[in-house]
Structure 1
Amino acid sequence: MTHPEEPLDSPALRTAGPRLSNSARGVWIALASSAAFGISGTFARGLFEAGWSPVAAVTARMAGAALVLAIPAMLAMRGRWTLLRTNWVSILLFGLFGVGACQLCYFLAVQRLDVGVALLLEYLAPVLIVLVLWVRHKKRPSVATIAGTLLALGGLVAVLDLTGTSDIDPIGVLWGLGAAVGLTVYFFISARVDGALPPIMLSAGGMAIGALSMVAVAAFGILPMEFSTGTGSFAGYETPWWLALIGLILISTVFSYTTGVMAARALGSKVASFISLTEVLFAVLWAWLLLSELPGPVQLLGGLLIVGGVVLVRVDELRSARL
């Protein structure tokens, strides 16, 4: 509704339309990014059914994404290659833990748990960040942050469904929590990297290092790297392995990253980060549609509690940043 005192051809009204249009477009782009991120576990499950091991799936995903992002990253680094020398430690840690270990743990969890449950465990990362900062700085979080943390932990209990109505693999749970630790490292390193380093270079470098770390994991016999030309199954239809792999690389990695950056630029990183929470909902939706997987009622309630707790923590974080 317009203000009556505002002329119909005023500059305010002429610019309001484009601003609203850009914001709406940004929201749709952010949702597309979350939907693309959310389907990664489903694509990975298809590769597992085709005979791939988690290490092989992670290696192919990261190596493929690194190749696709290589040229854009080099273009972004023109005249700024010295930034690699000053940020190589951060890029190395980002690739080893924030990318490699995080994705491997998530895929190992997906191998043993429902996709939605595995991602919910990974999304406990903001709670771990609160606990790490509490221990490191000896400063008690605010009431809202503590409430959000307790809410998320209560959601964790519900997701694990300790009543026994759902089958939960304890090893899968440990891998899911390992993914949460990896995501925590991802956030800490991202915050410490020199702001002059193009994000696409950090991502491409992290993907390349992560892929090499997976090769090392297999070479030392820690976990097997097994490829196959078998078939998986989506929505009851047999699908070739390469279709799941292309989806994992192009949709769940390259497209999701690109649209995530576009959304952050259109909406700001704070709003975009809130919308990214819909990734959990999309993960459950994709797994339901393509894998016929749906967490039980208690687990769905736990998922809502985890997302609600994370929202509380983030809202309090943003409020504190304004003070």
Structure 2
Amino acid sequence: MPVQTTDSAPGGRGKGVGLGLALGSALAFGGSGVAAKPLIEAGLDPLHVVWLRVTGAALVMLPLAWRHRALPRRRPGLLAGFGLLAVAGVQACYFAALSRIPVGVALLVEYLAPALVLGWVRFVQRRPVTRAAAVGVVLAVGGLACVVEVWAGLGFDALGLLLALGAACCQVGYFVLSDQGSDAGDEAPDPLGVIAYGLLVGAAALTLVARPWDLDWSVLAGTAPMNGTPVAAALLLAWIVLIATVLAYVTGIVAVRRLSPQVAGVVACLEAVIATVLAWVLLGEHLSAPQLAGGAVVLVGAFIAQSTAPAKGAAEPVAGGGPERELSGRGTAA
């Protein structure tokens, strides 16, 4: 199945809009942990929080799923892959990893995804990547190591690391699958339809893992402590569903189409920075000097990778996807 990438708007304006959407998506995704942590501390199981997040978002997007009801017949593989990888896979693997290894280590391993995307482009598609893009990824990953203070917890568990790597691979699927059909004209699958059905597939898959029939629903009727301040649990859940999931996925998939999978992947590294800053402000989890320095390095790396993306049709090595590209059906099969 051909998969192509272009900027959806000409010139720097399209890239600027795409970068803004990618940053907005990172901000929305980054706020999920700040809202979820109080719910978990109030007594909800982490997998139950994930299930509530995905299922709630799927219900919100249900009218769009009905509007694009022909999509499952046209792109069943895309919808299954997006739901299983980009929705259920990332979150299930990440939360499972957290039960075995430190949060910072799991997050760092998961956000190796941008480097894996470049590896996909270089070794699977056999297309060159610019040195600047590679340097940007290295800086982003190195800065992220400082942000999460990976040296603070090195009690690695082999299965935990494998699960975190699984989350990273699923995140690669998110960026690659989000780019499907961007140059197919009228035949391109509508991104909102892809998200709607992806959330439905993800909710169904997570139901088998999270066992929501054991969920303590009474927690949602009360309050959850946020840095000592009681906040309505239902309000926190609404934030997770509407902002950290629906808005995050919508802006993220549109950003991928305006930029490219690898550029959007690097910018998405900012999610960890944003999550850390929000935890500092809202949860009282203070940042250290190395974390502040690491955040600056992540920003620099993301900017370098984004600014080196070639224009559409340019015959130069890939930094951000730029020219039209085609993946084999085997390579992109969910």
TM surpasses 0.5: yes
1:192 matched to which residue of 2? Answer: 180
How do 1:218-297 and structure 2 match up within 5 A? 218=210, 226-227=215-216, 229-230=218-219, 231-257=223-249, 269-270=258-259, 273=264, 279-297=271-289
**One-letter code aligned to 2:56:** G
Change (3 A) 1:235 1:198: same
Segments of structure 2 that go 5 or more residues without pairing to the other structure are 1-14, 316-334
TM-score by length of structure 2 reads 0.70
**Among candidates 49, 60, 82, match of residue 52 of structure 2:** 60
**Among candidates 42, 50, 55, match of residue 50 of structure 1:** 42
1:13 matched to which residue of 2? Answer: none
1:105 matched to which residue of 2? Answer: 93
How far 1:40 moved relative to its partner? 0.7
Q: If each structure's helix is expressed as a fraction of its own residues, which one has the higher value?
A: 1
**Among candidates 134, 140, 158, match of residue 152 of structure 1:** 140
Distance 2:227 2:102 in 1: 18
1:225-263, CA deviations, whole angstroms, 9 ceiling, x for partnerless residues?
6445345321321234323212211222234445667x8
Distance 2:272 2:208 in 1: 31
Q: Does 1:96 align with 2:84?
A: yes
TM-score by length of structure 1 reads 0.72
1:28-54, CA deviations, whole angstroms, 9 ceiling, x for partnerless residues?
887655433321111121221122222
How far 1:121 moved relative to its partner? 4.8
Change (3 A) 1:86 1:247: same
Q: Does 1:183 align with 2:171?
A: yes
Change (3 A) 1:148 1:257: closer
User: CA RMSD, aligned part only?
Assistant: 3.9
SS at match of 2:61: helix
- Structure label with greater radius of gyration: 1
How do 1:19-98 and structure 2 match up within 5 A? 33-75=25-67, 77=68, 81-98=69-86
Segments of structure 1 that go 5 or more residues without pairing to the other structure are 1-22
Distance 2:213 2:161 in 1: 20
**Which one is further off, 192-201 or 85-94?**
192-201
2:200 matched to which residue of 1? Answer: 208
How far 1:311 moved relative to its partner? 3.4
Change (3 A) 1:197 1:141: closer
**One-letter code aligned to 1:74:** W
How do 1:115-126 and structure 2 match up within 5 A? 121-126=109-114
**Which one is further off, 124-133 or 32-41?**
32-41
How far 1:130 moved relative to its partner? 0.9
Change (3 A) 1:314 1:178: farther
Distance 2:92 2:236 in 1: 17
SS at match of 1:233: strand
Change (3 A) 1:146 1:26: closer
